[in-house]
Amino acid sequence: MNLEQLNKVAVKMVTPGQGLLAADESTGTIGKRFDSINTKSTEDKRRDWREMLFRTDDAMRNHVSGVILYDETIRQQAKDGTRLVDLIKANDALPGIKVDTGAKPMAGHPGETITEGLDGLRDRLNEYYELGARFAKWRAVIEISNPDTADRVTPTWGAIKANTHALARYAALCQEANIVPIVEPEVLMGGYHGIQTCYDVTQNVLKSLYSDLHEQGVHLEGTILKPNMVVAGKRCPVQPSVEEVAERTVQVLKACVPSAVPGIAFLSGGQDNVQATENLNAMNQIGGFPWNITYSYGRALQQSALFAWQGEDANYDAAQKAFNHRAKMNGLASMGEWSPEIEAAGG
């Protein structure tokens, strides 16, 4: 384990003005996204889509510090034979890899999940390092039930603890392999809960996470946190303002996240493109953090480009223009410099 190198990589991942492109959709997930543009999800089409993103030089060079890849993608070559990993590195961005094998129903905890993938992870991490990965991602899923209709109120402490323990074991294995772990405990935003419930659950999850990371000997200086923002559930009739989301999110981070962590890269969690940018910008306008705060977005970076592309080579330039715009907007938001006027003006 090279702690100096791990810290150097972690700091680069949260370079001011840059963030992470989450291009680690599973074959099933990207298939659903391709369905939305009536495009068949073949290996070549998936390759073409991601190659287009990685060849968008302005976005990749100036606003993307790293790319989270899927197992298929880290092994793929572009049409001209160049490894996709090398396209990423050519723009001074870091290749990363998703290593969990998904959230599965948790025994004894109806309605809750546990993320799997620890078996054989040491060997997989060593292979991924040889393939070029310098950071990894593991996502835990925490769902808040509707107390008015659920037979069992979730999340339970048992499910929270099991998931944060798995995140800590994964993180320790990553650092052993000289790979920076992104720890991602996502409190889902799809329910009926209000912002206070999200705050309380997020606080419990983060406290459990940092306790487990400490117990497992993880060096925080070589980690990145990828959390949810503190928001109300999408079905909640009372939705908070941008200012309240920013204030409550910063409040819970200050209460739970040690200053040794180099940076926090938020997931978008189903927010629309501009909403994810606006909330990130509002947090950075508050400022005064011990960590850099940026983005690790998938759909919120890719969706407008996907709709512009439509699976057609003829739309390559339009798709790259859309990706450039969203990357630039989020780069500005990561420094608190975004505005609706810049958004409307197209950057």
**Residue 297: in which H helix or E strand, if any?**
strand 292-297
Element (H, E) at 185: strand 180-187
Distance CA 108, CA 158 (A): 10
- For residue 202, give every residue at least 6 positions away whose Cβ sits within 8 Å of its Cβ, in sequence order, or none: 187, 227, 228, 230, 252
Q: What tokens were used for 226? A: 């990828």
Task: Please list the active-site residues.
Answer: 184, 226
Nearest to 144 by CA among 154, 132, 152: 154
Q: Is the peptide bond before 155 cis (omega within 30 degrees of 0)?
A: yes
> Do residues 238 and 307 touch, judged by C-beta distance below 8 A?
no
Query: Helical H runs in the chain?
Result: 3-13, 27-35, 43-54, 57-63, 71-74, 84-90, 121-131, 157-176, 195-215, 242-256, 273-286, 299-309, 316-333, 340-344
